[in-house]
Amino acid sequence: MAGGSDAGCWGKFLAGSAGGVRFKEIGGKLIVLFAIFINGLLYGGTYALLAVGFALVFGVAKIVNMAHTGFYMMSAYLIFIGVSVLGYPLIVAVLLTVVGAGLIGVIAYRLFLDRIKEHETAVMIVSVGLALLIQELLLLFFGGHYKAIPPFIHGFITISDQQVSYQSILAIVVSAVALLVVWFLLSKTMLGIAIRAAAEDREAASLMGFNVGRISMIIMGISVVLAAVASSVAASIFTIFPTMWLHPLVIVLAAVILGGLGSIKGSVIGALILGFAESIVVLTVPKGGYLGGVVSLCIMIVILMIRPEGLFGITFEEERL
């Protein structure tokens, strides 16, 4: 068969393919609303756990920790190592990861961030470097291969013709419980009072006898634990790879700024808004599904144009909770 023998079949198809792809909307159904609700909660819940951790560190230690989602990624890999390499049951791997990640967070704070915390720009650059270090180490040991963690619960339930996995429902529940625990910790315990005091005014808190340095270290540990919890429920649904920290970082930054920098409540609401926005874009503009992240950022910009301090910025609120 001579070369180019099939070229004749080609011309007309290529000529005809120049036009854009048409597609049909599937909107106008209750199914879509339900899907938006479920997926908005799932995305929003995961983002909220990450955003709260980020906001806590910023509020208390005044650190813009760009490595926050790097810890989220690291936790996913730790769970993977526990389950797939060491052969531990998933629950054991998750518990070890949550504890281990918290310790790593504390050590990273003492080693890299504590000594330069007064220099905000330097802290930000070092934290970016820390995230890249985690990324490169993962690339070194695991390559660019995509990994997955088995879910806690296999199977799914069909609600309103939508197939919702049990793991998705678990993720929503765990996110809600973790956020309630954070709320309880901050509002009902002595540690919470100390954290809030340090967040409000570091000098005053120090004069009142609180060890602000130690509180900052503890809050860093709590923040990374929250990232690990987010990872433990979401990583079973998503794919794990060494650059998976980038997209959540953008969303978390957007959520925290949208909610009002330093406001815990604002971070949760900001994360939920962005989670729902992403879900709405994917469902209502299927061909523009890849624009989910961009739309989230546009929402952030529009809200900041109207309220520069964010939805719950400290200008309008004395309490951050």
Partner 1 sequence: MQKHKASWMYSWAACLLGFLAVLIFSSPGLAKEEEVVKVGVVAAIKHMMGQQTWAGAEMAAEEINAAGGIKVGGKTYKIELVKADSNEWASISDAVGAMERVITLDKVKMVMGGYRSEAVLAMQDVAAEYKTIYFSIGAGHSQIALRLVQDYEKYKYWFRGGKPQSLYGGIVGIAVVDMVANKFKKELGIEKPKVAMIAEKVLWADETLKFMKMMCEKKLGLEVVYVTQPSNASNDLRVELNAAKASGAHILIHLVSGPVGVAFGRQWGSLKIPLAAVGYNAEAMKKEYWKTTEGLCEYEALVDYVSSAAVNERSVKFWKNYEKKYNDYPMECALSYNHLYQWKESVEKAGTFDADKVIVELLKNRFEGPGGVYRYEPKDAKFPHDLVWAPDGASTYGIQWRKGEKKTIWPDGNALTWFGDPRWKGIRFKGTVDYAFPPWVVDYWKKNK
**CA dist., res. 114 & res. 99, Å (int):** 21
**CA dist., res. 37 & res. 158, Å (int):** 15
**For partner 1, which residue of 81, 148, 170, 321 counts as binding (CB under 8 A)?**
148
- In the complex, minimum distance from the CB of residue 137 to partner 1, in angstroms, rounded to a whole number: 12
Sign for the pseudo-dihedral over CA of 124, 41, 191, 199 = positive
**For partner 1, which residue of 118, 121, 154, 308 counts as binding (CB under 8 A)?**
154
Residues 234-263 that bind partner 1 (CB under 8 A): 237-239, 241, 243-244, 246-247
Nearest CB to partner 1, comparing residues 252 and 261: 252
Residue 308 tokens, joined:
């520069």
Site string for partner 1, 155-184 (x = CB under 8 A): xx----xxx-x--x----------------
**For partner 1, which residue of 195, 257, 282, 311 counts as binding (CB under 8 A)?**
282
Q: Does 49 bind partner 1 (CB under 8 A)?
A: no
**CA dist., res. 311 & res. 270, Å (int):** 8
Question: Helices in the chain by DSSP H: which ranges?
Answer: 7-16, 30-61, 68-80, 90-108, 120-142, 166-188, 190-200, 202-207, 212-234, 246-259, 264-284, 292-306
Q: Does 16 bind partner 1 (CB under 8 A)?
A: yes
**CA dist., res. 297 & res. 137, Å (int):** 30
What DSSP state is assigned to residue 122?
Answer: H
Phi, psi at residue 89, to the nearest 5°? -65, 150
Q: Does 187 bind partner 1 (CB under 8 A)?
A: no
**For partner 1, which residue of 87, 118, 145, 306 counts as binding (CB under 8 A)?**
145
Binding stretches for partner 1 (CB under 8 A): 1, 3-7, 9-11, 13-14, 16-17, 19-24, 26, 29, 31-32, 35, 39, 139, 143-148, 150-151, 154-156, 161-163, 165, 168, 237-239, 241, 243-244, 246-247, 279, 282-283, 286-290, 292-293
